[in-house]
């Protein structure tokens, strides 16, 4: 009995293994810059972090010590207000786009979201400056939150829309067949089934704006003191890093390195939290 030639099969197997090795190498190459950045910031910033660093405001030039409490509180307030503004609007817009795929309003809304996603952050800051800061007669944390909320919207809208598009139509049809009102179907069936993807987009958008500096230069402006009034200028981690990293004073540069590490850990924790929550709430369809 003649044996069938195996050379074509061996060639395909070797080619497949070669592509797998190449993909693994490229995947590892992508992570190398990330580890270098994380390692460098960790080495530079970990020695500056202590309890005083987290609970005190910066001290004047010439005095040692001080901390970034004003920037920590300011960042939390500005981002929280931006999230309160952007998340409900973004989710509702995403639901509309997923439910009305072919309407003219959906087409222009989708186009606007795509264009807004490509607008530079500094341009958004300038626009908000002329919309809110200049008419109000002064900088404020609220105007900074508006700028960051505008940056959050495209991510929340697109993640909500794409997530809900993946759900089978049978879910909605089954709920409607039971006599459940349309709005209850959306809020009680469709949105909970897509909560993992929606939440991923929300956390991703928060991580996206957490390190933005340019919009806050024209809106929140910064504040050397601890403030909780969103109607007044307010400090934030990106602003503090930007101002102190370029200063000629060693103490301020040390604060900038420590603040950079805190901001980096914040973004990493947000991404890890997203992975944990989405796995916990993932629904098998």
CATH number for 240: 1.10.3720.10
Note whether 19 and 103 are same-domain residues: no
73 neighbors 241 (Cβ within 8 angstroms): no
125 neighbors 147 (Cβ within 8 angstroms): yes
Using DSSP, state whether 234 is helix, strand or coil: strand
Note whether 145 and 269 are same-domain residues: yes
Q: Is residue 91 part of a domain?
A: yes
Q: What tokens does 58 get?
A: 């910066």
Note whether 31 and 124 are same-domain residues: no
Note whether 95 and 36 are same-domain residues: no
Q: Is residue 2 part of a domain?
A: no
Q: What pLDDT shows up at residue 129?
A: 95
Domain count, the chain: 2
Note whether 250 and 165 are same-domain residues: yes
For residue 270, the enclosing domain spans: 52-281
Note whether 152 and 244 are same-domain residues: yes
**Residue 116: Cβ-neighbour burial (10 angstroms; 0-12, 13-18, 19+):** middle
Nearest to 251 by CA among 42, 61, 99: 61
Tell me 61's DSSP state.
Answer: T
pTM assigned to the model: 0.86
113 neighbors 154 (Cβ within 8 angstroms): yes
Note whether 32 and 56 are same-domain residues: no
Note whether 95 and 22 are same-domain residues: no
Q: Is residue 213 part of a domain?
A: yes
| CA distances from residue 272 to 91, 94, 208, 225 in whole angstroms, order as listed | 22, 24, 14, 32
Note whether 117 and 257 are same-domain residues: yes
Note whether 14 and 101 are same-domain residues: no
Consecutive 10-residue averages of pLDDT for the chain (285 residues):
64 88 90 89 88 87 82 93 95 92 89 91 94 92 95 93 88 88 89 86 89 91 88 92 87 89 89 76 50
Q: What pLDDT shows up at residue 285?
A: 40
Note whether 81 and 39 are same-domain residues: no
């Amino acid at each position: 009995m003649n044996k069938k030639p195996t050379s074509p099969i061996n060639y395909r197997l070797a080619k497949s293994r070669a592509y797998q090795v190449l993909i693994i190498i490229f995947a590892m190459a992508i992570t190398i810059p990330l580890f270098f950045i994380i390692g460098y910031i960790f080495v530079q910033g970990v020695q500056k972090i202590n309890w005083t660093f987290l609970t005190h405001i910066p001290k004047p030039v010439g005095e040692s010590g001080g901390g970034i409490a004003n920037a920590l509180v300011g960042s939390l307030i500005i981002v929280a207000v931006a999230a309160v503004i952007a998340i409900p609007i973004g989710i509702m817009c995403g639901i509309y786009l997923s439910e009305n795929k072919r309407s003219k309003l959906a087409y222009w809304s989708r186009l606007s979201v795509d264009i807004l996603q490509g607008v530079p952050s500094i341009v958004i800051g300038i626009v908000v400056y002329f919309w809110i800061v200049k008419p109000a007669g002064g900088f404020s944390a609220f105007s900074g939150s508006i700028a960051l909320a505008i940056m959050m919207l495209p991510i929340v809208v697109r993640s909500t829309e794409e997530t809900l598009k993946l759900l089978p139509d049978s879910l909605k049809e089954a709920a409607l067949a039971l006599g459940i009102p349309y709005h209850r179907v959306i809020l009680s069936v469709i949105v909970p089934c897509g909560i993992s993807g929606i939440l991923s987009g929300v956390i991703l958008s928060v991580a996206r704006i957490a390190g933005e500096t340019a919009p806050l230069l024209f809106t929140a402006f910064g504040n050397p003191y601890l403030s909780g009034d969103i109607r007044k200028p307010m400090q934030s981690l990106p602003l503090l890093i930007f101002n102190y990293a370029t200063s000629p004073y060693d103490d301020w540069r040390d604060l900038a390195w420590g603040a950079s590490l805190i901001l980096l850990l914040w973004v990493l924790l947000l991404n890890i939290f997203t992975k944990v929550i989405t796995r916990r709430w993932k629904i098998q369809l």
